[in-house]
Amino acid sequence: MTPREAQTAYWAELSGHLRSHGLPAEHVTATVADLAAHLAESGAADPADEFGPAEEFARQLAPEPADARTPADERVETWRWTADTYADEALLDRFGDEGWEVERIDALGRFVSHRDPESPQRWEYRRELVTRGRAAVDAKLAPEGWELCGTWVVYAWYKRPKAATQGPAAKLDAPPPAPQRHAFFSRRFYVTTAVAVLCLAAAALALSLRDGDAGTGAGFVTGALVGAAVPVLAIWALLALNKRGRH
């Protein structure tokens, strides 16, 4: 098996295990894309060497069930939203300026945010890559007032009130209404997903031709394309429902 075939097989196995843990298809696609990009940047050839066996790695990636914590003050607004890693940093800056504080990231990969409508404050965020453990990153950022607010796959997000650096200027007098949308996927995310689908189809075709059984190969390619299309259709449906809900 060539290195490319080994990677294709690993990502397929990892995707299956993540879905079995209950992760939505769109998050499985985004997770595998992030990991593949990290593998390419690191120069490693074998994802099993980098991340360990797919089944064990999937258990590590699957978030723990969301707990039952709720804000003590019932007046606090709560809003859950999600975005891909191409858009999340800019959106966190935008929503932080609107007074939204991220409490945690839930089991579906959503930012669970809350805001006190009577005395909101501005927040700022940063994202860090934590493939080798988070302790060193936590220690480095703590003196600057950064506090962990969520983790997902190989990323960790940190927050701090803007009052820590801007003082009274960070006060938010009139926050805008809570956004009606709950999903924010960038154009780059769709392009990446499309490229991943094409690569999967090309790899499946190569494997089927190598097998020499045209019937089996055609079935394998068809199955691969249908499976790869599921995340795209799921994202499209989610955006369509959100758009319909706003009208």
Binning the chain into helix, strand and coil, the percentages to the nearest 5 are: 55, 15, 30
CB 240 within 8 A of CB 183: no
146-155 pLDDT, tens digit per residue, is 999 999 888 9
The domains of the chain are located at: 3-61+186-245, 77-183
Give yes or no for a contact between 196 and 213, defined as CB atoms under 8 angstroms apart: no
Encoding tokens for residue 164? 């820590």
Q: Comparing 54 with 216, which gets the higher pLDDT?
A: 54
pLDDT, tens digit (0-9, with 9 covering 90-100), for 62-117: 655 544 444 444 557 889 999 988 889 999 999 999 999 999 998 778 899 999 87
Percent of the chain with pLDDT over 90: 25
In this structure, the strands spanning 155-161 and 147-152 are antiparallel
β-sheet bridge partners, residue 243: none
In the predicted model, what is the mean pLDDT of residues 211-233? 52
- Tell me the two tokens of residue 69: 């914590």
Averaged pLDDT for residues 196-217: 64
Strands (E), 139-182: 147-152, 155-161
List 123's β-bridge partners, or say none. 161
The CB density around residue 92, as the number of other CB atoms within 10 Å, is 23
Distance of CA 150 to the CA centre of its chain: 11
Q: Enter the tokens of residue 187.
A: 């154009």
